[in-house]
């Protein structure tokens, strides 16, 4: 049910993009308890000037490698699960691709279950 949109600076290798997608998916499985095989991701690269991320908001110093991860998912997960997800993604990206934890911006967008159609013009969760 989650849809992950991952936006990153242009110029990253296919292996880098694939690893980022794997880390996000793995964190969704372990921390957010999403079903296995429920993987829908959009990974998009952006040229300089088209991915605007404040370099120092809230005293967190971000580099030009900063990425944005937005996950749309069903509402209702507890705050501790969300925190575990944030940490799992930041730690996983640091370990797997060397991305600084400060360079991981995550936004969760919660929706009601009836707001999904996985095909056939049906609302499978409604």
CA–CA gap between residue 91 and residue 18 (Å, rounded): 16
Does 47 participate in catalysis according to the annotation?
A: no
Helical H segments across the chain, by residue range: 14-31, 79-97
CA–CA gap between residue 49 and residue 56 (Å, rounded): 17
Cβ distance 99 to 65 under 8 Å? Answer: yes
Strands 67-74 and 3-9: antiparallel
Query: Catalytic one among 2, 9, 35, 47?
Result: 2
What's the N-to-C CA distance of the chain in angstroms? 12
Catalytic residues, which ones?
Answer: 2
């Amino acid at each position: 049910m989650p849809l992950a949109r991952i936006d990153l600076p242009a110029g990253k290798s296919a292996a880098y993009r694939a690893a980022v997608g794997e880390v996000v998916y793995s964190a969704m499985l372990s921390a957010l308890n999403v079903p296995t095989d429920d993987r829908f991701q959009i990974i998009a690269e952006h040229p300089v000037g088209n991915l605007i991320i404040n370099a120092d908001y809230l005293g967190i110093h971000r580099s030009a490698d900063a990425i944005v991860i937005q996950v749309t998912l069903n509402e209702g997960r507890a705050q501790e699960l969300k925190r575990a997800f944030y940490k799992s993604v930041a730690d996983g990206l640091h370990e797997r691709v060397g991305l600084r934890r400060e360079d991981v911006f995550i936004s969760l967008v919660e929706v009601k279950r009836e707001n999904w159609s996985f095909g056939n013009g049906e609302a499978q969760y409604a």
